[in-house]
C-alpha cells in the first residue's frame, strides 16, 4: 500500500509491502508528521519553536521533544566543527535541518513497531528504507540531476538504510555557512548522503553542504557513510565506498 500526503511543505510518501497493512495504520504515521509540523514549523505562529523565538516560552517550559531536538542540534554542531548551527542571523532558532530526518526516522520506527518489515518513508526526497520491495529486491532510489529534475543520474540499490540530499536546485539558497553567513553557497549544487539511518544522513548532509567542496572529504572520513557530490559545473565527486550502493541492474 502506497499513500502520499502534502505535509510540512512537501510531499510525504509511505509505502508498505507487507500484506497485512491497513490504511489506518499508515494514516497513524501521517498524524505523527502533523504533530512534528505543529511543533517545529517556523512558518506556523502557533508552533512551539515560533513561541520560543518570540520569547513566549522559557527553557524550563520546553517540551521533551523540543529539548531532545535542541540537544541533538548542539551535538551536531560540535561533531561538525560548527558547520551545523541552528542560530539564524536574527538570533532565532531554526532546527529544520535536523528535524526532518529525525521525524522520518521516528515515523519509520512507528511502522516497525506495528510489525512491518518492508517499507519506506520518503519526505521531500529524504528516505528511510527497510527490507525489500515488492519484487523481493533492495529498493531502487534515484539521485536526481540538479540541472534536470526529470532525470536520474544514478540509481542506488538500498535496504535498511537512510538517504538524504541537500542542495539548491529546488529551494535555492536556503542553507548557509555559519562561519561565513553572507557567503553564497554556489560551488556545489547537490550533495547526497547515505547513512545508517535518515536522521544521520540528513544532519550530516546539511552540515557537509555548508562546507561546500570540503564536505565530501568530511563525509569520506565518517564510518558507515557514503556520499555523492555534484558541483556547479556538473562534475561529480564521491566517497570511496559510494559505488557499493550503485544498482547493478541499471
The answer as to whether 69 is a domain residue is yes
The answer as to whether 127 is a domain residue is yes
What is the signed CA dihedral for 48, 53, 55, 58, rounded to 10 degrees?
Answer: 60
Q: What is the pTM of this model?
A: 0.94
Report the CATH number that the domain containing residue 10 is assigned in CATH: 3.10.520.10
Which pLDDT tens digit goes with each residue over 178-220? 766 666 777 899 999 999 999 999 999 999 999 999 999 999 9
Which pLDDT tens digit goes with each residue over 119-136? 999 999 999 999 999 999
Which pLDDT tens digit goes with each residue over 84-117? 999 998 999 999 999 999 999 999 999 999 999 9
Domain that includes residue 138, residue range: 2-245
| pLDDT greater at residue 174 or residue 52 | 52
Q: What is the mean pLDDT of the chain?
A: 93
Inter-CA distances, 86 with 69, 96, 191, Å: 11, 8, 19
Q: For residues 130 and 119, is the Cβ–Cβ distance under 8 A?
A: yes
Average pLDDT value for residue range 156-184: 75
pLDDT at 65: 98
Q: For residues 162 and 197, is the Cβ–Cβ distance under 8 A?
A: yes
The answer as to whether 157 is a domain residue is yes
pLDDT range class, residue 169, cuts 50, 70, 90? low
The answer as to whether 250 is a domain residue is no
d(CA 139, CA 118) in angstroms, rounded, equals 10
pLDDT at 118: 98
- Domain total for the chain? 1
Task: Return all residues near 31 (Cβ < 8 A) that are at least 6 apart.
Answer: none
Amino acid at each position: 500500500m502506497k499513500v502520499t500526503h502534502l505535509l510540512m511543505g512537501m510531499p510525504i510518501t509511505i509505502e508498505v509491502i507487507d500484506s497485512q497493512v491497513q490504511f489506518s495504520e499508515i494514516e497513524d504515521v501521517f498524524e505523527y508528521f502533523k504533530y512534528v509540523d505543529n511543533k517545529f514549523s517556523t512558518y506556523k505562529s502557533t508552533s512551539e519553536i515560533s513561541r520560543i523565538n518570540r520569547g513566549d516560552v522559557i527553557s524550563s517550559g520546553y517540551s521533551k521533544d523540543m529539548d531532545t531536538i535542541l540537544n541533538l542540534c548542539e551535538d551536531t554542531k560540535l561533531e561538525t566543527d560548527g558547520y551545523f548551527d541552528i542560530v539564524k542571523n536574527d538570533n532565532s532558532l531554526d532546527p529544520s535541518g535536523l528535524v526532518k530526518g529525525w521525524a522520518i526516522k521516528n515515523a519509520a520506527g512507528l511502522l516497525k513497531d506495528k510489525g512491518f518489515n518492508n517499507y519506506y518513508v520518503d519526505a521531500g526526497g529524504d528516505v528511510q528504507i527497510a527490507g525489500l520491495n515488492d519484487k523481493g529486491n533492495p529498493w531502487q532510489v534515484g539521485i536526481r540531476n540538479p540541472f534536470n529534475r526529470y532525470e536520474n543520474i544514478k540509481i542506488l540499490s538500498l535496504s535498511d538504510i537512510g538517504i538524504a540530499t541537500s542542495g539548491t536546485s529546488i529551494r535555492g539558497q536556503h542553507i548557509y555557512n555559519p562561519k561565513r553567513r553572507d557567503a553564497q553557497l554556489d560551488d556545489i549544487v547537490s550533495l547526497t548522503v547515505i547513512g545508517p539511518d535518515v536522521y544521520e544522513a540528513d544532519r550530516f548532509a546539511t552540515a557537509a553542504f555548508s562546507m561546500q567542496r570540503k564536505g565530501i572529504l568530511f563525509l569520506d572520513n565518517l564510518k558507515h557513510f557514503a556520499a555523492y557530490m555534484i558541483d556547479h559545473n556538473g562534475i561529480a565527486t564521491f566517497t570511496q565506498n559510494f559505488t557499493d550502493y550503485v544498482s547493478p541492474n541499471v
